[in-house]
Amino acid sequence: MNRRIFFLSATGAALAQTPSESVRLALIGAGGRGRRVTSEFRRDPNLFVHGVCDVYEPNLEAGLSAAGPGTKAYRDYKRVLDDKDVDAVLIATPEHWHHRMTLDAMAAGKDVYVEKPLCHTPAEGKELVEAERESDRIVQVGMQRRSYDLYLEAREIRRTGELGTVRMVRTYWLNSRTEPRRDTFKGPINWEAWLGPSPEVPTDPLVFFNWRSLAAYSGGIAQDQGCHIFDSIHLIMDAGYPVAVNASALRPHVAGMDQPESVVVAAEYPQGFMAIFTINYNAMRYASRADQLNAYDGSLARMDIGREFLRVFPRDSPETPSLDKEQPGGFAQATIDHVMNFLHCVRTREKPRATMDKGFQAALIVQLANISLKESRTVGWNAETLSVV
């Protein structure tokens, strides 16, 4: 497989030589997120949605409708990868498929935009990072804060020394999810294909519509949201792999689900700081602009950043911000900018903003946290061998 990954496909070579060349995209996984991100791709006038693939017929039909007339339908992602008319793929399937599909797409000579989390386990992440080292493919992980000017500005503030020494970053994410979705299938589904590499279980809409809360398919809501938060911390703090991770959680409270909704994760970094992520989906429901906060506790100032605001509180006036910036709509724009960065890199072969290793580093923190919860211990990480200590 690595030898197959190494060589440029004819399509990739053409794009590398002619930056203005059109890009033909295929969507794999046409659920709500996949359709939404596809709509951002379609903002590029030289982007053509060549195909849509899904194993659940209603999603496939909705994806074809969103992609526009003339779009080809697929029910097997391998047929997408066999199609020489496809230059790049958007992978927006459940988490348990990301690793295998990304490897297969790279081996088929496709560039890849893959939704977060990048992978399901540390072993999967290691394999992906090592494959990328031997590949010429462009891979962008859907962690859009790396394309968000508000977060890039926060990084520059930290780099200038305005905050002093930051030894701790504290975060929270609040929402309400106390009942599972109890939808029924509204059309045919290829259940075996949906399960893929996960254990075989009977066809069950409760599993299909709640996969983010089941360990066989997801690292839980802590992983789903935590990789965003930890990636933003890595961006702002110029950090990456941790030294060690510890976690604590309440039991799951959603009937039939095995992943907790109330979790605290503490990560220690070789740069000499800690990052504390707290998520509670047993809180009241907040408007999305107010559901999360990240506080950088420096010796000279504290910096608070959320979805659409950035504030700095200096030591000599801790209740009055020296910087108070609101950016309504900025978070939505960040996804557009992230997609456009990917397309720019497909055409120029430049390195994208959210590379495979960045995607793995963000997902890894909560994967180690889940090991910590299971084994009731602090879990160390060896960044040289990419292995759990």
Concatenating the DSSP letter of every residue in 226-272 gives HHHHHHHHHHHHT--S-SEEEEEEPPP-STT--S-SEEEEEEEETTT
Report percent pLDDT > 90 for the chain: 93
**What's the confidence (pLDDT) of residue 3?**
35
Q: What angle do CA 159, 162, 167 make, to 5 degrees?
A: 75
357 HSE (CA, 13 A, CB side) = 12
Condensed to tens digits (0 to 9), the pLDDT of residues 166-189 reads 999 999 999 998 899 999 999 999
Neighbours of 202 (CB within 10 A): 6
Condensed to tens digits (0 to 9), the pLDDT of residues 56-97 reads 999 999 999 999 999 999 999 999 999 999 999 999 999 999
**What's the confidence (pLDDT) of residue 376?**
97
Q: Stretch 231-236: mean pLDDT, rounded? A: 98
Confidence bin at 20 (pLDDT 50/70/90) = low
DSSP 56: B
Q: Stretch 285-311: mean pLDDT, rounded? A: 96
Whether the per-residue pLDDT at 4 is higher than 70: the answer is: no
Condensed to tens digits (0 to 9), the pLDDT of residues 110-158 reads 999 999 999 999 999 999 999 999 999 999 999 999 999 999 999 999 9
Q: What is the mean pLDDT of the chain?
A: 94
Confidence bin at 277 (pLDDT 50/70/90) = very high
Structure tokens at 48: 């053509």
Sequence-ordered list of residues with C-beta below 8 angstroms from that of 278, at least 6 positions apart, any chain: 170, 171, 172, 173, 263, 264, 265
Sequence-ordered list of residues with C-beta below 8 angstroms from that of 55, at least 6 positions apart, any chain: 75, 189, 190, 193, 194
Residue 349 Cα distances to 138, 141, 289, 337, angstroms: 7, 16, 35, 17
Report percent pLDDT > 70 for the chain: 95
Whether the per-residue pLDDT at 6 is higher than 50: the answer is: no
Sequence-ordered list of residues with C-beta below 8 angstroms from that of 128, at least 6 positions apart, any chain: 99, 102, 103, 118, 119, 356, 360
